Amino acid sequence: MNNNDPKGIPQTTPRMSATFTRDVNSDIRRAAATGIYDIRGGGAKRKLPSFDDLLFMGASISRYPLEGYREKCETSVTIGGLHAENPIELDIPITIAGMSFGALSGPAKEALGRGASAAGTSTTTGDGGMTPEERTHSTKLVYQYLPSRYGMNPNDLRKADAIEIVVGQGAKPGGGGMLLGQKISDRVAAMRNLPKGIDQRSACRHPDWTGPDDLEIKILELREITGWKVPIYVKVAGARPYYDTTLAVKAGADAVVLDGMQGGTAATQDVFIEHVGQPTLAIVRPAVQALQDLGMHRKVQLILSGGIRSGADVAKAMALGADAVAIGTAALIALGDNDPKWEAEYNALGTTAGAYDDWHEGKDPAGITTQDPELMARFDPVEGGRRLRNYLKVMTLEAQTIARACGKNHLHNLEPEDLVALTMEAAAMAQVPLAGTNWYPGKPGTTY
C-alpha cells in the first residue's frame, strides 16, 4: 500500500477502536440481521482476574518441603457429614460438575461416570434428570434439583448419593436452563416431558419456594423423602458469596457449591455469561469468611467451580479455604471437546478448535455436546473415561506437588499465607499480599 495519496499527502494508518472492536461490530451486525440475542455455551471468555495471578511461595529456609512418594500428601475429603447418615467420601478433592443429559450425549455422560469413578470421585447430573448410564457408571452420583424439575422423581432421588439444590450457576446467575429444539430428541423430550424439536423455555426461580426461609422447609422435605441419609448441597453462582453462603448454611445445607463466571453453561445468552457474575477468584474468600463467622468452616464444605483447569487451580482454591473444586468445561476438553483433530469441521461451522461454543446447535464434531446419532458415534465412552481419569490423576499429582513444596501432608492444610499475588486486583480479591510486600488493598490497619 502506498503511504502517499496521489497528491503526496501521507495517509494515517487505519486505527481500530478499542470500544468498537471487530468482535463487537460482528455482534452488532448479527443482532441487526436476526433480531435475537446471541446464544452460546461455555463460560466467560474475556480476561478476568484469576488464579493465574496468584503464586505459591514454596519451601525455603523457614519452611521445609515433603519428599515425594514416601512422605504422604493426602487428598481425600468428606462432603456432607453435618446432617447426613451417609456423607460422600472422595479420594480426591475434584468433582465433576453438573452437566445435563440433553446438553451432553448419553455416551459423554457415561464417560464422565467412568472417569470419575476410576479416580474415586463423584459426578453430578444436570438439568435433564438422571440417566441409567450415569447412575450405572458413576460410583458417587450427585443429583441436581433445579428450577425446571425435568425428570425429577422420588425413585431417582433415592438412588442418588447426594442432592444438589441449584439456585444458580456462574454463567448465568438468575437464568434457567436452556436447550434448543435441535437437541430435543425423542429421548430428551421423553425425559423432560416436552414436545420434540421445540425450544425449551426456562424457569429461573424454583417453582415451589423463594428465599432462604422457604429453602429451609424444602431441604426438610427432601431429607424426609430420602430418610435423612444423603447430604444436601446448595449450588449458587458467586453473586453475593458472603450472604449466600451464610443463608445456605442457615437453611440447612451440608455443603455449598459456588460457581464463578468462568463456569460454563450448555447454552445461554452471551450477554449473561460475560456481564453477570463474578470471577471465581473473587468469590472464594467471602464465602470462607462467612463459614468462619458462623463457626462452620470445614463442617459445611465449600466446593468451588468456574474455570478450574489444573492442579495449581485446585491447590489455590484449597489454600483460600475451599474443601474441594468441581470441573465442567475442563472435563469436556479432557474427553475431547474442541480437539484440533476436527479442525476442518470446526472451520466448516465457521469457527476453530478452542473457540467452538455453539453447543446449543447440536452439531458437535466431537460427538459430546450433541444428540445426533452419527456424531455421537464418534465418541467412545470407554476411551473418554480413561482420558478423564488420566486428567484427574494429573491434576491431583500437580496439587500434591505444590502442597509438598509448601510442606503440607494434606491438601486441605494449604492456607492463604502460602500465596502471593501478582496484581492489585488479585491481592484485593484473595486478600493475599502483593509479591514482595506484606500489603493488600483493604488490609485492616492500613491506609493508602
Partner 1 sequence: MQTIDLSKVGLRETNKMLQAQSAETNQTSWEIVNPRGSHAIACGLNAPIEVTIKGSTGYYCAGMNQQATVNIHGSAGPGTGENIMSGKIVIEGDASQYLGATGQGGLIVVKGNASSRCGISMKGVNIVVQGSIGHMSAFMGQSGNLVVCGDAGDALGDSCYEARFFVRGKVKSLGADCIKKDMREEHITFLRGLLDEAGIDADPSEFTRYGSARKLYNFHVDNAGAY
Partner 2 sequence: MCGIVGLFLKDRSLEPRLGEMLTAMLITMTDRGPDSAGIAIYGGETPGRSKMTVQSDDPDTAFSDLGAKLQDAAGGPVNVTVKSTHAVLDIPAGSTAKVRAALNEMGIRVMSFGDSLEIYKEVGLPKDVAARFELAKMSGTHGIGHTRMATESAVTTMGAHPFNTGPDQCLVHNGSLSNHNSLRRKLRREGIHIETENDTEVGAAYLTWKMQNGATLGEALESSLQDLDGFFTFVVGTKDGFGVVRDPIACKPAVMAETDQYVAFGSEYRALVDLPGIETARVWEPEPATVYFWSHNDTPTATEKAA
| Residue 24 contact among partner 2, partner 1, none, beta carbon within 5 to 8 Å by kind | none
**Which among 416, 413, 417 is positioned nearest to 66, based on CA atoms?**
413
Strand 94-96 relative to strand 324-327, pairing: parallel
Q: Which stretch binds partner 2 (CB under 8 A): 49-57, 240-248, 336-344, 404-412?
A: 240-248
Q: Contact with partner 2 (CB under 8 A): which of 149, 187, 218, 240?
A: 240
| Given 74, 156, 199, 216, the residue binding partner 2 (CB under 8 A) | 216
Nearest residue to 116 via CA among 148, 141, 99, 133: 141
CB of 166 to partner 2, least distance (A): 18
Instruction: Give yes or no for residue 181 binding partner 1 (CB under 8 A).
Output: yes
DSSP class per residue in 375-396: HHTT--HHHHHHHHHHHHHHHH
Q: Which stretch binds partner 1 (CB under 8 A): 112-120, 147-155, 259-267, 381-389?
A: 147-155
Look at residue 221 and give the partner it binds from partner 2, partner 1, none, a contact being a CB closer than 5 to 8 Å depending on partner kind.
partner 1
From 40, 361, 346, 39, select the one nearest 184 (Cα to Cα). Answer: 361
Residue 204 lies near partner 2 (rule: CB under 8 A): no
Only one residue has cell 499480599, namely 433
63: Cα separation from own chain's centroid: 33
- Say if strands 419-421 and 54-56 run parallel, antiparallel, or are unpaired: antiparallel
Rounded Cα gap, residues 90 and 138, in angstroms:
13
Interface residue with partner 1 among 190, 198, 355, 394 (CB under 8 A) is: 198
Is 77 or 248 the residue whose CB approaches partner 2 more closely?
248
Return the number of the residue (24 or 217) whose C-beta is nearest partner 1. Answer: 217
Between helices 381-405 and 311-319, what is the axis angle to 10°? Answer: 50
Asked if 102 interacts with partner 2 (CB under 8 A), we say no
Q: How far is C-alpha 331 from the chain's CA centre?
A: 10
Q: Among partner 2, partner 1, none, what does residue 240 contact (CB within 5–8 Å per kind)?
A: partner 2
What residue type is assigned to position 406 of the chain?
C
Residue 446 Cβ, how far from partner 2 at the closest point, in Å? Answer: 23
| Residue 205 beta carbon to partner 2: minimum distance, rounded to whole angstroms | 8
211 binds partner 2 (CB under 8 A): yes
217 near partner 2, judged by CB under 8 A: yes
**How does DSSP classify residue 129?**
B
**How many CB atoms within 10 Å of residue 154?**
10
The pattern of x and - marking residues 364 through 403 that bind partner 1 according to CB under 8 A reads ----------------------------------------
Q: Which stretch binds partner 1 (CB under 8 A): 34-42, 129-137, 235-243, 428-436?
A: 34-42
Is residue 228 part of the contact set for partner 1 (CB under 8 A)? yes
What CA–CA distances, in Å, run from 126 to 175, 178, 374? 15, 12, 23
- Residue 355 binds to partner 2 (criterion: CB under 8 A): no
H/E run at residue 88: strand 88-90
Q: Three-state SS for 1?
A: coil
Kindly state the DSSP code that residue 415 receives in the 8-state scheme.
Answer: -
In the list 71, 213, 221, 417, the residue contacting partner 2 (rule: CB under 8 A) is: 213
- The neighbouring-strand residues paired with 78 are 89
Residues binding partner 1 (CB under 8 A)? 34-36, 148-149, 152-154, 157, 181, 193-195, 198-199, 201, 203, 207-209, 214, 217-218, 220-221, 224-228
